[in-house]
Amino acid sequence: MSIQILRPEVASQIAAGEVVERPASVVKELLENAIDAKASYIKINVEGAGKRLIEVADDGIGILSSELPIAVTRHATSKITDSADLFEIETLGFRGEALASIGSVSRFTITSRNNEASVGTRLRVNGGLVEEPQSLGTPVGTTVRVEDLFFNVPARLKFLKSDVTERRHIDELVTRYAFAYPGIRFHLHQDGRPVLQTSGNGDRREVLAALYGADIARQMLKVINEEDDSKVIGFVSPISLTRSNRRMINFFINGRPVQDASLTAAVVQAYHTFLMVGRFPLAMLYIELPVNAVDVNVHPTKAEVRFREPKRVFSIMQGSVRRALLAHTQIPEIENPVEWMRPLAKTNSTGIEGSHWGISTQFERGLDVSQGRFTGADQSDLKTGHDIASPKISGLDTPILRLVGQVATTFLVAEGPDGLYLIDQHAAHERVLFEKLMAQRKESIPAQVLLQPVTVELPSSSARLLIDQLPILSRLGFQVEPFGPNTFIIRSIPTLLHGMDPTSALMVLVEDFEEDESPLETEIEAKVVARVCKRAAVKAGQVLSHEEQEMLLSDLEACDSPRTCPHGRPTMIHLSVDLLERQFGRRGAR
Ligand code: ADP
Ligand code: MG
């Protein structure tokens, strides 16, 4: 084939591919334009998950009739003029590509009236073909309608995910912008249903409630920190509220949602020693920096940025979050942990406290690890769910245990063939229930019908997740049906959860749920079961009768994988006789 310049339609579809990947990308570009136009009200209508219609209307400054045909051509922008401006960008847009790109892959109509004009203009672009503009009476502002997205790029349509997923991307995106711009009133409708309505009164916590649900929003801790020319404001979760992955950590830099691994690391580090390995906080953080400290021209959809002083931004972020956490949380700090292998004679006066911590931390670091899988489980990324069906640990599965008693209403102490075992009663019970339920699942899991069905309203993103999972839930004994927008009716719960508040039983399941790109049914099921068990298991702090303790031990012995809970954390710590002897100086450390 000879070398030739691509036809303009082909070239523009290639370019469009970079900007418009999915319906949510169209919403993003149109929202950014409305925000750049200083809108105080933005209304978004979506139909058919954005494939049939996306309409964004704003009351911003509008576009002059004479400029409308230019606005829809490539590389046409009012936001920058020369390349020096690229390093001083104050607006969200600057490439002049969005309208042209969207117009080339949809049936596109833009109607706008400039705030100084007496009439408006409408212009249609059909799959890249620009039609004649018409004048018409319309209020000041701009409305863009994007119909039949990707009608002329069928391959792209095939790559879209399910409607549920595409809708969720849109919901999340709009909610994030609503958080970044609390002074703008946002209304989002999907298929005629209101999904998000903010008042524009400047209250970020209100938006937080739409994003996470009222309960979580109430718990989130406020971060506010101003230093010289920079400012960090937003919310982070208390240490009691975590997720199994980093996806709920979000940033806005100068009003732009960005992904940044190093900022994420800064937030996670701020929680250092506060959270279990494999657990992550939630965060919504808004950072303002001087415009020339950030290069936004590094990513086609402007989703990533580069900092002039990355280390400084990292430390500002980490410091701001850490301070907020310390202000709100009392955490037992471990002072002077005893060095484990040091011979006793030299440990002098560290005291009982110290040696206690010494032992447990040493064990957590993996003394028993050569045989067990504590370290492996702790370090693996728990979000995959692969830990759930943990493999058998040969030879170590079933230590025969003799109960000694309960300590701190949290741990059981038992003697085994090779020393002492400390068992976390909650983790152990989780494991026991998990294996029981997974076994029962093959036939059918007993359910308890509620005398009085309960209705529960969820944030829209959770509601969508739940809809996906209804079939799985019903196999597990949860009979739940949709009941109006974002509302569900619970008719039965698994017998295992007898006595528990049905609403909170259901909430646990959706709270932490992840969108899996290609979820295996069995994996989801295992995840849901693990979550039910976590809820149903006895808690730390719960007094157990001698019989209950015995029962728990023997049930645990009978498990296929007794050593870890379904989430991969250890159920037991083993102190070998050998180790005890060393610790008591009965055997000299050589
Ligand atoms: P960019 O935002 O990068 O400048 P776009 O293709 O998104 O490029 O938009 C082109 C131009 O059209 C913008 O620079 C702006 O002048 C104008 N424009 C687009 N949307 C709006 C809007 N909602 N209100 C006012 N002007 C708009
Ligand atoms: Mg734009």
What pLDDT score was predicted for residue 394?
34
pTM of the model: 0.63
User: What residues does the ion ligand 2 have nearby, CB within 5 Å?
Assistant: 33, 93, 98
The whole-angstrom separation of Cα 557 and Cα 545 is 18
Ligand 1 centroid to Cα of residue 62, in Å, is 9
Q: Is the pLDDT of residue 130 over 90?
A: yes
pLDDT tens string 160-199:
999 999 999 999 899 999 999 999 999 999 999 999 999 9
Q: What is the pLDDT, as a whole number, of residue 354?
A: 29
Q: Per-residue pLDDT tens for 385-437?
A: 333 333 333 334 456 788 999 888 889 999 877 788 899 999 999 888 888 88
Which numbered ligand comes closest to the C-alpha of 63? Answer: 1
Structure token digits, residue 333: 């700090």
Name the band, by pLDDT with cuts 50, 70 and 90, for residue 8: confident
Out of 77-86, 370-379, 497-506, least confident range: 370-379
User: With 70 as the cut, is the pLDDT of residue 524 above it?
Assistant: no
Average pLDDT over residues 510-536: 65
Using alpha carbons, list the distances in angstroms from residue 519 to 128, 158, 438, 526: 37, 18, 18, 11
| Tokens (6 digits) for 144 | 């863009």
Mean pLDDT, range 320-336, rounded to an integer: 64
What is the reported pLDDT for 139?
96
Give dist(CA 579, CA 389) in Å, integer: 31
Ligand 1 touching residue 59 (CB < 6 A): no
Whose structure tokens read 């489980």? Answer: 377
C-alpha span between 419 and 400 (Å, rounded): 11
Q: How high is the pLDDT of residue 523?
A: 63
Using CA positions, which residue lies closest to atom 14 of ligand 1?
77
Ligand 1 pocket check for 94: Cβ under 6 Å? yes
The strand order across the sheet containing 411-416 reads 402-407, 411-416, 419-424, 572-575
Quick check: helix, strand or coil at residue 478?
Answer: coil
What tokens does 386 get? 């692969």
Whether the CB of 56 sits within 6 Å of ligand 1? no
User: How would you classify residue 188: left for phi > 0, otherwise alpha for psi between -120 and 50, otherwise beta?
Assistant: beta
Q: Of all residues in the chain, what percent carry a pLDDT higher than 90? A: 39
Residues 397, 399, 404: CA angle, nearest 5 degrees: 140
> What's the token pair of residue 64?
């002059």
Collapse the DSSP code of 423 into the 3-class scheme (helix H, G, I; strand E, B; otherwise coil) and give the result: strand
420 within 8 A of 429, measured Cβ to Cβ: no
Amino acid at 401: L
Ligand number with the minimum distance to the CA of 61: 1
Q: What is the DSSP letter of 403?
A: E
Q: Which residue has the higher pLDDT, 348 or 251?
A: 251
Whether the predicted pLDDT of 563 surpasses 60: yes
| Centroid of ligand 2 to alpha carbon of 94 (angstroms) | 7
Q: What are phi and psi of 512, to 5 degrees?
A: -100, 5
112 C-alpha vs ligand 2 centroid, how far in Å?
Answer: 15
